[in-house]
Amino acid sequence: MTDVSIILPTYNERDNICDLIDAIDQAMTPSGLAWEVLVVDDSSPDGTAEAVRQRYDLAGKGAAGSVKLHVRSSDKGLAKAIRYGLEQAAGCTLVVMDTDFNHDPALIPQMVDLLRYYELVIGSRFVMRGGMEDTARYRMSLLYNVFIRLLFHTQIQDNLSGFFAVRRETLFQLQPKFDRIFYGYGDYFIRLLLLAWRSDWKILEVPVFYILRRHGESKTGFWEVFRDYTLAVLKLRLWGL
CATH of the domain at 216: 3.90.550.10
How does pLDDT run across 142-181, given as a tens digit for each residue? Answer: 999 999 999 999 999 999 999 999 999 999 999 999 999 9
Q: Which of helix, strand or coil describes residue 22?
A: helix
Structurally, how many domains does the chain consist of?
Answer: 1
What is the pTM for the complete model shown?
A: 0.91
Report yes or no: 163 and 64 within 8 Å, Cβ to Cβ: no
For residue 214, what pLDDT is reported?
Answer: 58
Phi-psi map region of 56: left, alpha, beta (phi>0 left; psi -120 to 50 alpha): beta
Residue type, 87: E
Contact 89, 3 (CB under 8 A): no
Question: Residue 231 to residues 43, 83, 226: CA-CA distances in angstroms?
Answer: 28, 21, 9
First to last CA, the chain: 34
pLDDT at 127: 96
pLDDT one-digit tens code per residue, 106-142: 999 999 999 999 999 999 999 999 999 989 889 999 9
Q: Which domain holds residue 29?
A: 4-239
Provide, rounded to the nearest whole percent, the portion of the chain with pLDDT above 90: 78
- Write down the pLDDT at residue 91: 96
* % of the chain beyond a pLDDT of 70: 92
> Residue 209: helix, strand or coil by DSSP?
strand
Neighbour count for residue 43 (Cβ, 10 Å): 12
| pLDDT at residue 224 greater than cutoff 80 | no
